[in-house]
Structure 1
């Protein structure tokens, strides 16, 4: 800063410095920090460093303004020295953080990164200490032999540090330019060059009015090119990154938030028109002026409202949908689903938010809305917990996982009157929920691709139990395990199946596999191929759930399975209706003549048992004989050899 002396008062008079630039810089830093907060930019490590740069720049500008007015109205030498030191060290520290930011952005190898970290901190420490000691050394801001404060801006520790840092930054940008986006590299080089010219011109004029401002320009470039996430002018909405950060902040602050989610359910990517975008924005803001609107994907919108500001959010939302939204739907005819919910304390990122919405939206009819409450959240939480456990079981990979239990249901042989076969069934026992039944976890396992690992665990435990029962002298013909069509296409499925059975030390004919009927040609061909391989091994094959939905008789016969299991629904209908009883007898007779064994599921009464026997039953299974039991209890139904 250019300083002239007023000898009559022993006071520093600043002729060439103007605080206007620093006042403007303070406003710009505050504005940048507010913009960052309003756009919910993701708070990564690099961005936290970036925000700290703005904070240091703000401190530097304020301290320089304070120095100017302290010089005008005060003769406190210590205060002037402190303010000057704060100004210089803040700017040097900002350079240090800027290099740390570039180091992460460029992604140096660790050994090279440590060298630049050491170098940047060394420059900061050496020049900072020298700047603090300048009143004693006479190098920099000091008093001359008249007791008058003096500073030559071309020869100060701060300026040495400034030039060193600038040289390091330019070297990093040029040397590692291929690791940066080309447009970013060119903009940073241009900006640093402009900043250097500003400093040289100011030094020539013996002033530093715009020195701190030169730090703001590179930060502005980085903010715009790497971190900008502006509002969409068409809809007034923020993007996916902002919603992700908003959810994280809401979770951290335990903020009670109400969410209105709208998805347009179309088979193509919908691009909203300008007119509809403005209409869409006003649609929300008329009812929720303090809400935050997000547009994380083309056809998905989320309005987040602070529940404390809008205690009657549900009533307002329902009123909005009935009075306004339905009117617009009649005009534009865009298929939609509206989901309303509150208290997402368990949702901390966008991925989980999508999962919550998709879970709720499955329960909503098209072109309608639904408000979800506490019971729905609890159901979702349980589902989410079960899913996480299934994922852990699949990734853990142990065939002896204690969370997967084998239950079984004994099957009665009509011809011998004994129980010599059984069906193995799957259960989970999880730490938080206890025993979990298949209807709660099988659909999840099939949907997310975890079913194969569960099947292999059940197969392994079933085979080991068969071996143990055989060693103890029990008569057991076979135990069946269920396989889904999807897992038959798993790589090395048959090899894995064979290795598990062989490792247990049992014959292949003591294990059976059950399939459900294939729904398309691809599935049918896959099942047909696997059935052929199983037969070569001596594995008995079952068709499960015959009679549910559409059954292709020709396909079933061409598979050449061993046992057909009639679904319980057929038995219930035959028990009440003469036509259904005729169909039951017709199919059972046909299968018997073609050499298939027939097994009836769901037998609960004596009358049903008698009906099954009349209808050519070979095996009976149901609560009349036994409920599903742990497979370890199966021996009490068996006979010893």
Structure 2
């Protein structure tokens, strides 16, 4: 066999470096495509990935030169390539070490300690590197290639030393590190050390690139492309849903704790943001340390959900009581006195039946129902809470379906009416239309569903449907009966839309009725929301001949100057003011003064809530023009107004 110098050349297997390069390029592409959160840790992650790509390319060039010494070798160029790689590797170690430290806000504050560690390690690293270069011991030139064993061992030992230091510091500071960060550090450090040891042993294979690419891949997957928040160590709502469904399928019993800071959850302006962020991190760490059965999830800046994977209610109560102690300690420590709400529920069968979306809604329902301004609240839900919420939940679903259909003939919305007595005519001349909701044959009172409708942006759909039903009823009544008008209550949200008046007039004009036979009731409190828009709608409706009533006057918002300034024709006094005036002569004096004031200024006065003969006489004596109440008639389907209105002659 003839001599072939290429056959006897020193060869290095670089498949590991090529794989590392592909991983690094791929993760870099994902970073630019997914646009992850631009946190402090992400900057290190992005920089480390870019430097990794350059380091791998330099390493591939080094291996190529070492394998073909007769073609490419130049000692100065080769030494420069080694120096460049070792410098890039040192930067990668710095980034890796700093990235892990940044994942714990508690450690990040001790910058002096970190700086001293950086300076010490960098000095040792570069001193040894220069020593090896000067003494020409970093590599050896042979006839069959270049032996880079010392070069490889040097940076591998440096990498192992960095991993050990990271592991030691992480273990010492475990209380200030989230559970997932600690686990990720242990896993990545263990993998790195194992691979670096193999790299030292394997003299003719180069695969060390995976030791600095894999940690960046793990960091990106856990804290940037995936659901973990690097500051608190919590996952987001998507992760909560996934865990919830996993527990459901496995038939596990579990409890849910809803932790909310009401002053912060719905506000983008947070007092002492940095200080509070540090406190939140401490809270999460302490709650995690209560038990491994507690899994924390972050919904937004000030709201968290914890899954308590325990079968026993006593254990869940014990865990949540410890959470409460942690939050009490936080409340006493922080200067801004940020209040908290903790709501706990644990009916896993009910969760399984309706799913985690229901659970989230129920937890928010607990917050809205039991939260008290300026107080810390801890509440463990019971069966009555579930039953009450189920009713609210069913109402919400019905209202949203009504809004989606927008059917003017929707049978779930029933139009009731209560006739109003005219003192001057001694007969019923008007009536107030009252909305009712039916679900599965059960009548739901307005006090229950109106607020739910407003919270779910369904109130406008109800107003439109009621307008159609009232107009249709008036159209039928006016053929045989003599009356002035029917009034309809409108929501604050309706009047804040400047196109509302036009929509109302379009509906009225679609029926064969005089537009003056439809009147609208508004509350004075709605004018505080968006006064300009409300007043604009009122003015435009007045121009079209629509009379307006000021409803619930005297309930705490009353301002005579503002009431006189808006275009209303009738002042409707709230029944609570009547009841107080009957019992207290001082309130009666104010009551009488306001009635006289409005009548002198051309307003029509109406009192509601009259339930007996004494209240009727009192109202007539005070000079009210109209009286409404159970003493005269109870609300009933609007068709029953035939019993109260006079027939046309």
What stretches of structure 1 of length at least 5 have no aligned partner?
A: 1-20, 22-209
1:315 is matched with 317
Separation in 1 of the partners of 2:305 and 2:320?
15
Check 1:314–1:628 CA distance in 2 against 1; reply closer, same or farther (3 A cut).
Answer: farther
- How many Å apart are 1:493 and its aligned residue? 2.1
Check 1:258–1:522 CA distance in 2 against 1; reply closer, same or farther (3 A cut).
Answer: closer
1:355 is aligned to 2:364: no
1:543 is aligned to 2:545: no
Contact 1:599 1:618 in 2 (8 A): yes
1:291 is matched with 294
Post-superposition CA distance 1:287-321 (Å, at most 9, x none) = 4332222223333222211232x441343045425
1:335 is aligned to 2:349: no
* Secondary structure in 2 matching 1:584: helix
Post-superposition CA distance 1:502-552 (Å, at most 9, x none) = 222100111111111145566333333222222222222111011111211
Contact 2:500 2:537 in 1 (8 A): no
1:419 is matched with 428
Equivalent of residue 621 in structure 1, options 616, 621, 628: 628
* Secondary structure in 2 matching 1:462: helix
1:528 is matched with 535
- How many Å apart are 1:440 and its aligned residue? 0.9
Structure 1 length as normaliser, TM-score? Answer: 0.61
Structure 2 length as normaliser, TM-score? Answer: 0.60
Post-superposition CA distance 1:93-127 (Å, at most 9, x none) = xxxxxxxxxxxxxxxxxxxxxxxxxxxxxxxxxxx
Q: How does 1:73-152 map to 2 (within 5 A)?
A: none
Contact 2:416 2:636 in 1 (8 A): yes
Contact 1:422 1:478 in 2 (8 A): yes
Check 1:532–1:220 CA distance in 2 against 1; reply closer, same or farther (3 A cut).
Answer: closer
Cα RMSD (Å)? 3.1
1:584 is aligned to 2:591: yes
1:396 is matched with 405
Separation in 1 of the partners of 2:550 and 2:385?
36
1:502 is matched with 509
Check 1:520–1:545 CA distance in 2 against 1; reply closer, same or farther (3 A cut).
Answer: closer
Contact 1:240 1:297 in 2 (8 A): no
Separation in 2 of the partners of 1:223 and 1:561?
62
1:606 is aligned to 2:613: yes
Contact 2:453 2:459 in 1 (8 A): yes
1:258 is matched with 255
1:554 is aligned to 2:556: no
What stretches of structure 2 of length at least 5 have no aligned partner?
A: 1-15, 17-206
1:575 is aligned to 2:582: yes
Q: Which moved more, 1:510-519 or 1:613-622?
A: 510-519
Check 1:384–1:639 CA distance in 2 against 1; reply closer, same or farther (3 A cut).
Answer: same
2:237 is matched with 240
Contact 1:240 1:350 in 2 (8 A): no
Post-superposition CA distance 1:260-286 (Å, at most 9, x none) = 222234444545789756743453245
Separation in 1 of the partners of 2:415 and 2:529?
31
- How many Å apart are 1:323 and its aligned residue? 5.0
* Secondary structure in 1 matching 2:408: coil
Separation in 1 of the partners of 2:420 and 2:410?
27
- How many Å apart are 1:351 and its aligned residue? 5.9
Check 1:482–1:313 CA distance in 2 against 1; reply closer, same or farther (3 A cut).
Answer: same
- How many Å apart are 1:599 and its aligned residue? 0.7
- How many Å apart are 1:418 and its aligned residue? 1.0
Separation in 2 of the partners of 1:546 and 1:327?
46
Separation in 2 of the partners of 1:277 and 1:554?
48
2:452 is matched with 444
Separation in 2 of the partners of 1:384 and 1:438?
16
